[in-house]
Amino acid sequence: MLPDKFRVAMFNRLGLGPYFQPARIETDLEEWLIVERFGRNGEYLVVSTAGTEQDPASFQAPPDLVEHKSMLGILIDIALDGEGATFLFTRNLVGNQVVKGSFFPADGYVTLERHQSGIRLTAAGRHAHDISSGPRGPVFKHIPEPTPAAEGEARNWHFDAVMRPWVMQSLEEPAHLELI
């Protein structure tokens, strides 16, 4: 079963492309994510960028990862066998919800799957933002209808991430780790 509550580090292969061509990927990057599932029945998921440093000799996540840009997802489907769940990213925080780092509005979905080898995350979506400064750092405001000229602040993205060992992880049950 996929746990309802956890906070783990994941190594992500990130593909970026133009907002108006969401199937096109122009840039491939690698980054660390912090992924946290919470709520009474695990109905919320926060996916946060956490850094790009990678030691090629280590499969361990760096111990000093912290949340930077955080996307909030709401549960929309659970696999019949309990081994997967799909979440819809939100453009706004829900109610009094607070996230670590800066809230990053997004359109898209994220799927978590539990395999014998660990937890895998796949996601696809896009964002269009106006960025301003706030008391706690950058504030990202969703732009509902971006123009093609806003391509720098409007991108599509694809995630393919796997959980890695991390000293700060919190997991309801032991998980096997998938190392790629």
* Structure letter (DSSP) for residue 53: -
Lookup: tokens for 179: 């190392």
User: Would you say 163 and 173 are in contact if contact means Cβ atoms under 8 Å apart?
Assistant: no
Average pLDDT over residues 10-30: 94
CATH topology of domain 6-171: Lipocalin (2.40.128)
Nearest to 75 by CA among 38, 37, 43, 107: 43
| Least confident interval from 16-20, 32-36, 116-120 | 116-120
Mean pLDDT, the chain, rounded, equals 86
Percent of the chain with pLDDT over 70: 81
Nearest to 73 by CA among 48, 108, 45: 45
Sign of CA dihedral 81, 83, 88, 94: positive
pTM over 0.75: yes
Nearest to 105 by CA among 60, 59, 138, 57: 138
* Structure letter (DSSP) for residue 12: E
**Whether the predicted pLDDT of 112 surpasses 60:** yes
Residue boundaries of the structural domains of the chain: 6-171
| Least confident interval from 16-25, 68-77, 171-180 | 171-180
| Confidence at residue 147, expressed as pLDDT on a 0 to 100 scale | 62
Neighbouring CB atoms inside 10 A of 110's CB total 22
CA atoms within 13 A on the CB side of 62: 14
Neighbouring CB atoms inside 10 A of 101's CB total 19
* Distance of alpha carbon 26 from alpha carbon 50, whole angstroms: 22
First to last CA, the chain: 22
pLDDT digits (tens, 9 = 90+) for 54-111: 776 678 999 999 999 999 999 999 999 989 999 999 988 888 888 999 899 899 999 9
User: Would you say 107 and 127 are in contact if contact means Cβ atoms under 8 Å apart?
Assistant: yes
**Whether the predicted pLDDT of 116 surpasses 80:** no
Looking up tokens 């309990």 gives: 82
| Least confident interval from 1-10, 115-124, 145-154 | 145-154
Nearest to 11 by CA among 171, 168, 120: 120
| Confidence at residue 118, expressed as pLDDT on a 0 to 100 scale | 80
